[in-house]
Every structure is written in C-alpha cells, then in structure tokens.
Structure 1
Amino acid sequence: MSASHADAAGHGGSSRLLRLINERTALGCLFLRDRLTRPELVELTGFSKPTASEVIKRLRAAGLVTVAGRTSGGPGPRADVYAIDADAAYSAAVSLREPDRLDVAVADLRGELRRTVKCPLGDDPEAAVVAAVADACAMAEVDRDRLRSVWVAVPGSYDGRGDRVRNIDIEGLETPGLRQRLAEALGTPVRIDNDVNLAALAERHHGVGGTEGFALLWLGEAGIGLGIDLGDEAGGGLLHGFSGAAGEIGYLPIGTPSAVAPPDLQELAAGPAIVRLSQRHGREVSSARSAIEVAETADDAEFFDVVARRIAIGLASVVTILAPAVIVLAGEIGAAGSGRLGEAVGAALAKLGFGTPVKRTAVEGDAVLRGGLDAALATVRRQLLADPLATGNSEGAA
C-alpha cells in the first residue's frame, strides 16, 4: 500500500486529491493492522515523517483515529501508538427468524461486538426491526447518529430491483419498498440479503469456505437454503441471481416428474422430515438437531444413510452446474453432532459419481448475524475510505 509520490506539492484540486489519497492510505493501513506508530506508518506507506504526522493529525481531528498507548522497551524513544477510534461509527445486523423471532447485533468500527438483542417479531415486523435496533443501541450506549450501516437478513430472497422480499413466510414483509422504509425509519443506509448468503459470508471469513469458491448448504429446522460463493478467481462475492432468488434449493423438486406434486428437497430433508425419520427409528426427539445427535450416539448408520441420500440428490444438481471446491453443511441440522452427517453426505455424493468434499461449518455462534456484521462493517469502512474527513465526526476536520 505504497504512496511514495504523496509528498508532491500541488495547488487547488491537486493538493486536495493528494491529501485524500494520503488519508485513505493511512486509514486503510489502520484497518488492516489495527495499531500503528508513526514510524510504522512511514515504513508501510512511503510517507515522509511530516506527511505522516499531518495525516494522523487530520484523522484524529475527524474523530477517526485515537492514541491507544505508547511503545515501551526496545531502542530509541517511545512513540505514540495510533488506532481506529472504535466509537467513530457503528454498524448493525438484523436477523429475522421464522416464524416469530428477531435478533439484532451492534458492533463498533473495530468490529467489536457491543450488544445483541433477541425479541419477538409481533404483528408488525417492520416496527419490530426499528424498535429492536434502537433498543440494542441504547443498551450498548451507542450514539444512534453514528450508526452508519444496517444489514437485514431475511429467510427468503430479496429482489433489489423492486425492493421486495419474496419466498418468505413472515407475514407483512412482502410489501415492496421494505428497504427504503427501514432506511427512512432508522435514519441510516439499510441493505437486505438472504440469511444463508450472509452465513456463507461468515463461512468465507471465519470458517472453512476459503477463497476457491464453495457452496454452503443450510439445513435448518425451518427450511433449507444454499449460499454460493464464487471464489476469488471468478471475481469473488455471492451469487444472487437475476431476481435475488439464487440458492432457494429447498424448492427443488425431488421425485418422479410424472407425479402430480413431487416433493421438494425441503419436504424430504428439513427439520420436520428429519424428526419424522428419527421417530420411525424408534426415537422420540423434539428437534432435528437432537435427532442427529442421538443418531450419532446410537451409531445409527442406516439413519445417516437415508438422510444423506436425500440431501445428496439435491446437491447433485449444485455440483453438476457449479463444481464448487467444497460443500459446507451449516444450520441447526448441518452443524449438529461431530460431523457424521457430513461424512455420510460425502459418501452419498461419491456413490453418485461426485468427489466434492463435504465439511461441517467451522463458524462459531450465530453465523447469520456474524456475516451480517461483517457486511455492515465493510460497508461503513468503504464509506470512510471514500472520503475520510467528509464522513468523520469533527466539523472542523478539513
């Protein structure tokens, strides 16, 4: 991240552009390294010492950078250690959970989690989202005016062209204009995405997804979804499709084409189907997650073989078309147990002629909220890097 040319003198717009480049460069280094001394910033960027001092001064005046301590030990004089001011901006993630739950998480500019809130959706989901974000900020003692980005995860597909959520069972959210209404009510930019897509984002950054492209199969108690990471060679990012409905694999018909209403993958492998299968094996369980865990304890190979064959039939089309480097199992069912289900699905795919490895998710905690916070934080940082002083918190920062 070199800016060795940045000490060049200029006039008018040229000098302002050079200052902007320097500010972006220094802020980017602090985002990457977390903490830096002025000599370290000089070494990383090629700034002269006076330029580094001026850039740090401007970023501190804008409220984006703070002194986090001083160096100790070693040769030479002690130096101030600079860091991103965690309270300069905040981001939030919202996860709507079928049938009637809402989770919110708020994080600061350094990515540290400040607060999580869980509450019922009630009869007005939009109002519940706005109230829950406000409550989370209040509990975290976060200045609402510094909330710069909110990402909302929905258990359905989001069509950005019409600002509309589809394929969702939460009543009241399919009315067009949801993103715009939430942005106006919250007073900050809002983005909406499928919950499994955001879980896939978390898997890439914190799990076993990697950068070569992968498919994350979300096996949940309520339903099934697919997140498709295209990998760095294909430009990175998630595949959303023309209408935002890419990955709605739960609706994939499984069965004889001549059948009047062939079952879909969700009917065969989502939570209720796994519970029924477990009951047929003589076990009374309250959830699909517990069904997987009990079957592992009982070493029930037949149970896992049946479940894996059902899942593999749906995955065969994914592997044939996308050829992902790896398939990651996530969700309450996919993450259950110690990985026996993943081994069984991999074996079932191999019998169909596919050698794609299958792994259990490695993301700890709530993958949807974690992915949403990653996306929201990246959005805020891009905003700040576009023009650090314009989006800083000091009126006299120029």
Structure 2
Amino acid sequence: MKALILVGGFGTRLRPLTLSVPKPLVDFANKPMILHQIEALKDVGVTEVVLAINYQPEVKASHSQISILQLRLCLLKKASFYFLQVMLNFLKEFETKLGIKITCSQETEPLGTAGPLALARDQLIDGSGDPFFVLNSDVISEYPFEELIQFHKSHGGEGTIMVTKVDEPSKYGVVVMEEETGKVERFVEKPKMFVGNKINAGIYLLNPSVLDRIQLRPTSIEKEVFPQIAADQRLFAMVLPGFWMDIGQPRDYITGLRLYLTSLRKKSPSKLSTGSHIVGNVLVHESAVIGEGCLLGPDVAIGPGCVVECGVRLSRCTVMRGVRIKKHACISNSIIGWHSTVGQWARVENMTILGEDVHVCDEIYSNGGVVLPHKEIKSSILKPEIVM
C-alpha cells in the first residue's frame, strides 16, 4: 500500500518554530509531527509515502524591478527550497530505520487539495489495485488505520473518509451520513441549523479509480471531488475512535499534546514518567536530566538532552531538544524551542512561544510573548506580543 501526506506550505501559524525547521519536522511529543503518521502507516503495511509539497511562487524580474513584495517572494522561494532539502535529508534517515520509501511530489502551480493527487498519480498507482491513504500532515490522532482498511473493504465503495465529532458543528463543514452504513449523503458548509456533528478529520482511504475523477488543475477534494463521489453513492465515512486534533497552531498544539498523552496513558502507560514529582501525564526523554524538588505536569513533554534544574515547575508545555530550564523557573501553557534557556526564577506563561536558541534572562516574566530565534530577552513581556 501507498500513502500521500499533504505537507502544506511554510507553516506560518506555527512560527517562530517553523522559521528553523519545516512544519512537518516540528517536534510533537518528542518526535517530528510527520513521523507519528509515517510510523503508523508503516504498521499497517504501507511501503511508500509521498509527501505533497505546496507550490511556491517564482519571481522573474531584474534587480531594479524587484519591489518589496517581489523580494519577499524571492526569499520565500529560497526558503522553500532550503526547507525541502532539510526535510528530505532528515526523512532519508528514516527510510532505512523504518524500511519505508519516502518521496516528494512538488507542485509547479497551486493545485488545491485534490490536484496534488493527480500530480502524484504515477507514484500512487502500482498496478495492485490497492487503495491508498491520504492524510493532512497537521492531524494527530490514534491513527486507527487497520480499522479504516477493514471498513473500507466491507462497504465496497470508492472512498472512505474519517470523521470526528465536534461540539460546535456550525464552525465547520459537516458530513451528513447514514448512521448504520456510514454512506455519505451530502456536505453542509457551516450549517445554521443542526444537520449533524461530524466533520472531515483529514484522513482518507481511496481506491485508485478516484484519481480518474481528478484533473491536473486547482481542485478542492472536499468541495468538488468528495461531493461527486457521494452523489454516486460511492463515498462512506467512518467515525474516528479516540482523540483528534489539528495541531497546526500553538493553542491547538498544546491541546493536542494533552489528548495524545491521555491516549498514551491508556495504551502504553510505561512510556510516561512516574514519581512524587509528577502530576498527571508527563513524557520525559531518557536523556533528559531532572533536578531535585521539581514539580512536572500535567501534560508536559521534555525532549532529549534537556536539563531541568532544581525547583522548576512545568505544566501544559513542551520543552524541546537541548533546552535548559534554570532553578525555580515556572513554565505553563507554552512551547520552548530547541536549545533555548529559561533563567532562574523566570515565569513563562499564556501561550509564550520561544523559537530556537532563545535565552530568557533570570527573573523575567513572559505573558504570551512570541520570540523569534536567536534572541536574548532581558526585560519582561507584560502582554502578548511578537519579539523580533
């Protein structure tokens, strides 16, 4: 079997983290986001993963003609090429470790959410007739791929989409389906009246015949392709068991971490830390060093090579690789980027996001600061703001 992961663009919602690495390589629960998906796909027999990379504009102009906007686009194009190489180099390491082939398919023009499937047609079809997976790279869940395969085989349709239940369906596009069979009847965009509470979860299993419905042009799989298959009564939906979250922005990232660690508690409790200094679910890499008198949790992930000194308080936060948290610092509802430092008695909270190699001095308070990489914070950030 094969799979296509829609990687997306620059990950602007997760800046400043995505100023250092491509969004799919941002750590989530101590491993790159996309690695969670690739490992789960490998477990159900997927042998090749195709990463669908978004189009980035090309600017053709002489130096004297380049405007501020054009210059920015030029820089974006260079950044796109650099990040693509970084991602490929990183993922090549996992091809051998996981025994799975990883390739890329990059757009030369914007193709929406369906066009990339047509572009990667030759990579997705291998003559076996097997269905292929399509995933949005921002989605974190328990990835019940085995159940999805069995359900897809049982209904005999062309495609299966996973749906998840939400409390406020009026904010989303709702999937209206037969409860007993799962057959999709129609899609309703942000309904004003209640028609259902299930939304597209961004995980699909599609027969190769679906590719015949997609032309190599900008196309929306949600608004054009799926309604067409549903009209032919060939589209089915499976309710996603367990948790689901789009972690493409910081607040949802933190929520997703809580849901992931809760799931880990049920499935593999031995992977979580225990002790009198632990409250709730805490994931600590084996190479991290934790000092005496700390209180960690709930919902904390501490990455490899981190040093957490004595008396530190951490809750609802991610501390990425190589970070040092000095004595008696307090961090909550925040993300601490790679190789950063938080000083003694510092307080970091309210969705503060520190980019790579940020150094917060002793006794500093950050209330929702978003700090770009390679900065030193010498004065407190009293209200949410971007520090450039």
Question: Would you tell me which structure has more strand in proportion to its own residues?
Answer: 2
Bigger CA radius of gyration:
1
Q: Give the structure, 1 or 2, with the largest relative contact order (CA under 8 Å, sep 6 or more).
A: 1
TM-score, normalisation: structure 2:
0.26
